[in-house]
Structure 1
Amino acid sequence: MFSFLKNSTLSRSELNYESGKFKYIHYGDILTKFGDITDTRNFSVPFVTTPEKVIRLEKNFLQNGDVVIADTAEDSMVGKVTEIQNPDPFPTVSGLHTIPIRPNKEFAAGFLGHYMNAPFYHDQLFKLMQGVKVLSLSKSAVIQTKINSPSYCEQRLISRMINLIDGTITLHEEKKHQLERLKSALLQKMFADKSGYPDIRFEGFSDEWEQCKLGDVCEPITDSIDTQKYPNEVFAEYSMPAFDASMKPDIVLGSSMNSVRKIITRPCLLVNKLNVRKKRIWYVKKPNKNAVCSAEFIPLHSDTVDLTFLNQVAKSETFTRYLENHSSGSSNSQKRITPRSLMLSKLHIPTIEEQKLIGKIFESLDRTITLHDQKLNLLKLVKQSLLQKMFI
């Protein structure tokens, strides 16, 4: 079914993204960056900085339709493949920790890349993986796998359909990244620096922003409840796992929560105490009925500042660096910010009218980014379903 090619052993330090005569397929890029198909003309495929080290592999330069398998990873991603397309402008070699293969019969362009990443084929590889902390594959394991292929015409139709989905996914990913870059730029320009003035402002606003402490404009919510006393009552729990999973509260019984919770009855901003670099800032605009939050968060309420605006301030790099510098703990992953240190943080605040305008801009951006994210997740589910049902 396949012939094995030789691979290079260059390290990442011997690659660049600017210029060169040869290109290089790095196993880390297969695992994290490349899709089922890799067009080697793409800027994401690095050049070789030391060409003299790959010239000897001339007979093993990759061709259209060759497949490169990542043979090492720390999880079940090992065995992920990418099919090579358009290697002509720059002769391309396969790198360290990869198994490059060449099919001995003709397949439709893209078919093998999709097929070998589909569950049916990858499950075959998974049973043949070796290792505990680091999983690996051998050529002998690849030889034991089976590939079932339809007619060439059907292969082409399958590849075209999945390519169309991949193209749509790429389009939404790029739109999302553009919006994220725009938001990042606006966060730097629309918020005041030490001078008290932002670089970009809405027309009609020119006053200096007022410097204050967070505790001057916010107060922590302190009302609490022991949910164990209400074991059969239903609560909406705002917790760190819920934030990470969907940013929607978990609906749970009181008996499931083993410690005291803070009661949330009004709009608030939840600031995560642990590992602040991850920016787990949760703006609860309309709390659910019987809402509570876990001790992982410091809940803040304000009658004087717009929480939509403050939500963006709390996610800024300046604010995050302050939280990092004032966190304490035995290791970086376990460092925490205390409520006292949080309330002492300094920030610049404009008038409430300007706050609301800035808040609306970023709220709209966040909503659009979330929309693209939802579309991406749906498209990926559609593709995953097709890969499960169209290959045997």
Structure 2
Amino acid sequence: MKNENLVPKVRFKGFSDPWEQRKLGELFNERKEKSSQGELLSVTINSGIVKFDTLDRKNNSSADKSNYRVVRYGDIAYNSMRMWQGASGLSMYNGIVSPAYTVITPRTNTDAGFMAVNFKRKSMIQVFQRNSQGLTSDTWNLKFPVLKNIRISIPKITEQQIITELFTVINNLIAANEDKLEQLKTLKKLMMQKIFSQEWRFKGFTDPWEQRKLKNIAIRVRGNDGRMELPTLTISATQGWLNQKDRFSENIAGKEQKNYTLLKKGQLSYNHGNSKTAKYGAVFKLDIYTEALVPRVYHSFTVKHNNSADFIEYLFATGSPNRELRKLVSSGARMDGLLNISFDAFFNINLQVPIATEQMKIAKFFRKTDNLIAANEDKLNQLKKLKKYLMQNMFV
């Protein structure tokens, strides 16, 4: 009778034998070679083993590296004090690592790629945490003499290798999509710089942009009609509009909600809160709801006919209005984190804007760009969810 506890939920066709329990000391030897020569490598929590010079990190290693450990292609190296956080990886390089790391090399019938994925699983990291030595998290240390006695379930080598191939494909897809996403974001940033500086123009547009006060192209929005059951939102400088229940796990408006502003789809709000990503606040157009309630302290407005709300949102995203906003800040942020910028002062800032048709053209272009970025983010998230599911169900 099969031991059901040693059979994974998801499996490749043709494999049915229960997995075997083995000690890690039966599957790996510790590599104890030392050398001062070779490329310096580092073990990271998120990216495994990487070349040190690719990290944005100061090299604090001493000139004397005679005690550094040798790493060969196909070895697994891990941070003995951070194994419980997932600081391990399969090496794709030959090189050397700090003596703070442990290097292990697979024995016959052990696929290092399979084990590297296994070591990253949440349940395995919990095992490493339980077995780590030390009184506090800062002194946890999982050297090989302790690691080798940990028991682990593994299949035969052929199944290990097929699982490795699957995760290699998934990891490559994730890496490729992360690169593509980063390239798209970089491209958008470049295009915004060039287009909003008027260095690049769409064909057919040659008229210079005009300086207009915000109050000449927008109308203030305030008050509500008493409906308190509408979604209650807040602005995140990095994520835009978020439902308060999603961001804070509850509606934090309290009694103040009766004074919130009723914002309709296509209208905008300026959160004049100071943050690292938006030093002078952020403007976002409402597009995820038909109607919503937003904090009264936001400066809410709608653009007049022949102007594009999307264009105004992107204009603020470039940071070009910051020069005007900076003039209005007489002191630092208030106790509530808001900059001392009144609505009237905000509405009197000067903006450089083109004619309506060019506004629409620019807005449409960047909306398409954002949709492309969002589609790639969704694809990347789906791949990560697939990987997480397989890691939970293809192992014992």
Q: TM-score category by the smaller chain?
A: 0.7 to 0.9
Counterpart in the other structure of 1:86? 93
Aligned partners of 2:232 and 2:355: how far apart in 1?
33
In the aligned structure 2, how far is the partner of 1:353 from the partner of 1:66?
A: 60
**Conserved? CA contact 1:218–1:302, under 8 Å:** yes
Counterpart check, 1:180 vs 2:185: yes
Counterpart position of 2:234: 239
Correspondence list, 1:203-222, <5 A: 203-222=203-222
2-side partners of 1:102 and 1:149: how far apart?
Answer: 17
Q: Name the TM-score, length of structure 2 as normaliser.
A: 0.75
1:278 matches 2:277? yes
Distance 1:296 1:25 in 2: 50
Matched letter for residue 94 of structure 1: V
Distance between the aligned counterparts of 1:45 and 1:356, measured in 2?
Answer: 41
Percent of pairs with identical residues = 18
Contact 2:30 2:103 in 1 (8 A): yes
Seen in structure 2, the aligned counterparts of structure 1 residues 122 and 286 have a Cα distance that, compared at 3 Å, is closer
SS in 1 for 2:393: helix
Gaps of 5+ in 1: 11-20, 193-197
Higher relative contact order (CA 8 A, sep 6+): 2
Report the RMSD for the aligned CA atoms in angstroms: 3.9
CA contact (8 A) 1:25 1:45 kept: no
Aligned to 1:53: 63
Q: What do residues 55-97 of structure 1 show as CA deviations (whole Å, max 9, x unaligned)?
A: 5247x21012322324567xx972332210232xxxx22237x
Q: Which moved more, 1:348-357 or 1:297-306?
A: 297-306
Q: Which amino acid in the other structure matches residue 180 of structure 1?
A: K
Match of 1:14 in 2: none
Question: Could you report, residue by residue, the CA deviation over 1:162-215 in whole angstroms, capped at 9, with x for unpaired residues?
Answer: 1111111112111111111111111111013xxxxx111012211111112333
Deviates more, 1:255-264 or 1:46-55: 46-55
Q: Which residue of 2 aligns with 1:346?
A: 350
What is the letter of the counterpart of residue 187 of structure 2?
A: L
Pairing 1:1-392 to 2, within 5 Å after superposition: 1=25, 2-4=28-30, 22-27=38-43, 30-32=44-46, 34-35=47-48, 38=49, 44=54, 53=63, 56-57=66-67, 60-71=69-80, 78-87=85-94, 92-95=95-98, 98-103=100-105, 105-106=107-108, 107-128=110-131, 135=138, 137-140=140-143, 142=147, 145-192=150-197, 198-224=198-224, 234-240=229-235, 247=241, 249=243, 257-258=253-254, 259-260=256-257, 261-279=260-278, 281-285=283-287, 287-289=289-291, 291-295=292-296, 297-304=298-305, 305-320=307-322, 323=325, 328-329=331-332, 334=337, 336=339, 338-340=341-343, 341-392=345-396
Distance in 1 (CA, whole Å) between partners of 2:342 and 2:127 is 52
Moved more, 181-190 or 136-145: 136-145
Q: Is the 8 A contact 2:269 2:283 kept in 1?
A: yes
State how many pairs are aligned: 353
Q: What amino acid sits opposite 1:159 in the alignment?
A: T
Structure 2: gaps (5+ residues): 1-24
Structure 1 position 159, deviation (Å): 0.8
CA–CA distance in structure 1, aligned partners of residues 223 and 66 of structure 2: 72
Give the greater-gyration-radius structure (CA).
Answer: 2
